[in-house]
Amino acid sequence: MTHPLGTAPSKVIAVHLNYPSRARERGRAPSQPSYFLKPPSSLAGTKEALERPAGCELLGFEGEIALVIGSRAQRVPPGEAWSHVRWVTAANDAGVYDLRYADRGSNLRSKGADGFTPLGPRLLDAQELDPAGLRLRTWVNGELAQDDTTGQLLFPFNELIADLSRLVTLEPGDVILTGTPAGASVVRPGDVVEVEVTAGELSTGRLRNPVAEGPVLEPFGAMPRVDVAERAAAWGSAWMPEPALDPRLAEGLRSVAVATLSAQLRKRGLPHMSIDGVRPSRPGQEMVGVAHTLRYLPLREDLFKRHGNGFNAQKRAIEEIQPGHVLVMDARQDATAGTLGDILALRAQKRGAAGVVTDGAVRDSAAIAELGLPVYAAGAHPSVLGRRHVPWDTGIPVACGGALVQPGDLLVGDADGVVVVPPDLAEELIADCREQERQECFITEQVHAGESVDELYPLGPAWREQYEKWCEEEGADA
């Protein structure tokens, strides 16, 4: 097979985020560019198939503008950087999100597979082009999916080259993938992806790659794995998540008290389902949602430098929230440092969070209370999390307030606190809780009338017939 560039480059460098439209889609705008490497063996040409490995679900396309270095660049200033670019062409920075968890950040397995960087079909002379005047478009099955220009990039091309060349010598033939705009999404076998870069009347032509089913991955090392967060990241703005919790089930859980749920769970041999020590940020708050988890570990200063800075697990957990999620934080019941502040609480609210539960403290507690987002915490503390906690990982079983919480568990909160509800028990719990509360309403009326609680509370055989009659009068089924 002829190499799309004639000879293989020494390296292919890709930029994570560069288009403002994509940054808005992702909910974050970096202050500096960040990069990852793709193997030269991932390069392919037009008409070559993008193969989605069998067993994978989320093959993503990303139309991009590729720069091909023409002369050696080492510590070049921004003003001279563009002179080192020989060619401009279209590219598709493809990848499978099913494997992203295994090499998060480096993207080696998810984006480095053979054929995952098609380029072409024509090379445009960079020195005849205005790097701020390029247009990038991507089509899927003939329908326009991406359309943006290079006029307002977060990091213009000359800045990328200068930044990279400070530490990494760019050799002739090296490729820089300059980021993708909004609209990148998922394709399936049978689809066709086309990417074109234009500069006025000049065009690269359409880089056209059909999508095909690839071979099964041998069971060595990481295997495909997806969750709600990866689906959201892969589909981007084209993905509309289903409600995290069926509205009918959510309404049923809202209709009963946390104390009643706790009692019914105890009857089923589950006495440790309450999250102890947490209180709502404001009176009258109620909460129902699906658990999304974040774990903090005890502070170690040397590890905090690596795990606590940048887009750490705390921030990642916020950005992974889907509508209806309750973010559950395991802070080891240590309320001597903040685990959430008002800005991240606001971001969680904007992401559609149904609430936040932490067995640590919150800071900016007054501002958080004003947001109206249900937040249950063990207390308030002015310090940042780095005083006690290292944000470690997300989407795993955690311990919060003495209760084991798995992603996907249901969380219900009211003035009494928060209880964990196993999803497979929710329907029957709602029915039994309603019956218990109906009985308690009857019992309360009798106590108001002066009756003794003996054999009345809990409801005994002596009161059963009168209770059933009361239910008929009330229009309720006993």
- Residue 430 backbone phi and psi in degrees, to 5: -60, -45
Residues in the chain: 478
Residue 170, CA atoms < 13 Å, CB-side half-sphere: 29
Consult the annotation and say whether 429 binds a ligand.
Answer: no
State the residue for tokens 């900016």.
Answer: 364
C-alpha to C-alpha distance for 187 and 238, rounded to whole angstroms: 11
Q: Write the CA distances from 322 to 106, 126, 233, 377, 391, integer angstroms.
A: 25, 42, 11, 21, 20
Contact 33, 156 (CB under 8 A): no
Contact 58/89 with Cβ under 8 angstroms?
A: no
- Using DSSP bridges, classify how beta strands 325-330 and 287-298 pair: parallel, antiparallel or unpaired: parallel
With beta carbons less than 8 A apart as the criterion, state whether 116 and 42 touch. Answer: yes
State whether residue 471 is helix, strand or coil: helix
Q: Is 341 labelled as part of a ligand binding site? A: yes
Question: How far is residue 274's CA from residue 185's CA, in Å, rounded to a whole number?
Answer: 40
Report whether 70 belongs to an annotated binding site: no
Q: How far apart are CA 313 and CA 290, in angstroms?
A: 19
Would the annotation count 246 as a binding residue? no
Within 13 Å and on the Cβ side, how many CA atoms surround 432?
16
Does residue 347 have a known ligand-binding role? no
CA–CA distance, 398 with 396 (Å, rounded to integer): 6
Let me know: does 194 contact 50? Beta carbons within 8 Å.
Answer: no
Residue identified by tokens 């290292």 is 390
DSSP strands (E only) in 363-474: 375-380, 389-394, 398-400, 403-405, 410-414, 417-421
The DSSP line for 31-50 is SS--EEEE-GGGEE-TTPPE
Rounded Cα distance, 318 and 44, in Å: 36
Ligand-binding annotation for 266, yes or no, is no
Residue with tokens 């795990």: 307
Q: Are the C-beta atoms of 60 and 97 separated by less than 8 Å?
A: yes
Binding site residues, as ranges? 341-344, 363-364
Binding site residues for substrate, as ranges? 341-344, 363
Binding site residues for Mg(2+), as ranges? 364
